A and B are shown apart, each in its own frame.
Chain A
Amino acid sequence: MDCRKLWALVVTFFVMGMMASADSTAQSVSQSITKESTLEQVLKRKVLRVGMSTFVPWAMKDKTGKLIGFEIDVARRLAADMGVDVEFVPTNWSGIIPALLVGKFDVIIGGMGITPSRNLKVNFTIPYDYTGMSMVAHKKMADGFDSLDDFNKPSVVIAARMGSTPVDAAKKYMPKATLRLFNDESQVFQELINGRVHAVVSSAPTPAFQALKYPDRLFLPLDETFTKEPIGFAVRKGDPDTLNYFNNWIRVVTAEGWLSERKQYWFEGNDWKDKVQ
């Protein structure tokens, strides 16, 4: 065997060895992604931990302290389809994304609107629902207002929940108005009922519910929602398996018609009202 042949043999072995090791690295990376995915951990733990925040009629506690609502139905069905138990982690809305990132729960199912800025921090599933911003105003404070332009003045004060998409919508559509932010939804509406702000921006249908509840004080200045927002589950980044599972689960239940049936029950009917009060 001459020197050149031997050399070629050595090079061939070396290259093959490299390829084999690269291949096994790729394999072990994909294995570890699978093993560390939230999906695997949920199945191992047999519990799906869901981060949510009280928001009528998405999620709320009924008279017996049990959680009910549209999101709650979605999360319960999701867990049942995965064959695991569901555990709800009620969390303040303003801190819900950091809490997901540090692993206080596996997924946010809380009517979270998909926005580019949120999407930089978390991954979203495909939308399972759409909502829009709607506005309810105080009869005395906002007398005669009937368009977004009426509210877009420096003298107008608008209240919204801190860290929520209504804040972005108010800033975008009424940049001149003054914003006042609160930590939860009840404080926002209390401010309006007390007549200290002109209007509240919130996801439909809550403003309509409030206007019905206080017909002598509140009214709906706009006939329709003024934005359309996709709603998705939020999960931690770098986890393709979990995202894939949730996306396809949403496709399945949408195709079944189950989602729209649930949505109708919670958003268009009143059957659930006496469970809460």
Chain B
Amino acid sequence: MALGYIAYRIIFGMGYHWQWHVIPQYIVRYDAERRQWIPNLLLEGLIATFRLSIWATLMAIGIGTVMGLFRVTRRPFLRMVSRGYVELVRNLPPLVLIFISYYFISSQIMSHFDINAWAKSRPDGWQEVMAFFLASPKHLSAFLSAVATLAVLEGAYITEIVRAGIESVHWGQREAAYAQGFTRGQTMRHIIFPQALPQILPPLSGQLISTIKDSAIVSVISIQELTFQGMELMSATYLTFEIWITITVMYLLLTFSCSLAVQYIEAAVKRRHGN
């Protein structure tokens, strides 16, 4: 009902000039020179969003695993470090974190290694591989700093997922391992972690979806992902509604298919572990 009313207001009440017919060309376009269909602004943006999220999640898993193990270690210093990291990141607005990293950290660190120039000096084949998996050479430095920032952001949540997974293993398991003469490292590697993994995996894949959604905020530091491309396009064409709706659908398609994949993974994990 409410949705219907809103739709009615938008369509009839505002006298908005709908121009849906111009939208498809911003998703894919026919390149007359190469005689093939190629992704245009919006689809490129979606692909960039996906690349950004995948790399950020992978890096965040690395950070989260290390920090998660620190979280449950006996050493107070390491515990303090990871606790400090988690609390700092979780209690700051992501937007603030992203600005800090963009203006202070990444511009200070990245300017020391001229990554873009390095990438440009690689042979063409390499550049294409990089453009496919990461970003084109001229956007590489910005892309990497966005990946790093998102990874630090998501890593804090993954830390907690890993900690919860480890703590969910019954304490008796640990004692039994010690009784068998396992060292601390061996206990973690052979006893605790394999049992924690089924608990960790499902929320971890859910975190990927979360990352896709969070990646929209890096549009504020001019990373050319879906939201940024959409906003640029709106500035150029003033087709506010058509473009926002298209972007919404594109995000939904991406996250929904990811969430189906996550459900499949969860079912598979459950089948394998018998409960």
Contacts and interface: CB of A to CB of B under 8 A. Distances in A.
A92 B222 contact: yes
A103 B141 CA distance: 12
Contacts of A277: 19, 22, 237
A4 interface: no
Contacts of B103: 98, 102
Interface residues of B, number: 33
B222 to A, nearest CB: 5
A224 interface: no
Contacts of A95: 220-222
Given A56-B235, A187-B240, A65 B44 contact: yes
A90 B15 contact: no
A41 to B, nearest CB: 10
Contacts of A210: 238
Given A92-B222, A103-B107, A103-B111, A216 B238 contact: no
A189 B142 CA distance: 30
Interface stretch (B58-66, B124-132, B176-184, B226-234): B226-234
Contacts of A152: none
Nearest to B234: A186
Contacts of B40: 63-65
A104 B31 CA distance: 31
A91 B107 contact: no
Chain B interface SS verdict (over half): helix
A265 interface: no
B107 A63 contact: no
B239 to A, nearest CB: 8
B17 to A, nearest CB: 7
Interface string A79-99: 000000001011110010011
Contacts of B220: 92, 95
A128 interface: no
Nearest to A190: B240
Contacts of B231: 183-184, 186
Contacts of A102: 103, 107
B232 A54 contact: yes
Contact of B236 (A45, A54, A104): A54
28 contacts: A54-B235, A56-B235, A60-B236, A61-B41, A61-B232, A63-B25, A64-B40, A65-B29, A65-B44, A87-B138, A89-B222, A90-B222, A90-B224, A90-B228, A90-B232, A91-B222, A92-B220, A92-B222, A184-B235, A186-B237, A186-B240, A189-B238, A190-B240, A193-B14, A194-B14, A214-B17, A276-B236, A277-B19
Interface of A: 45, 47, 53-56, 60-61, 63-65, 87, 89-92, 95, 98-99, 102-104, 183-187, 189-190, 193-195, 210, 213-214, 216-217, 276-277
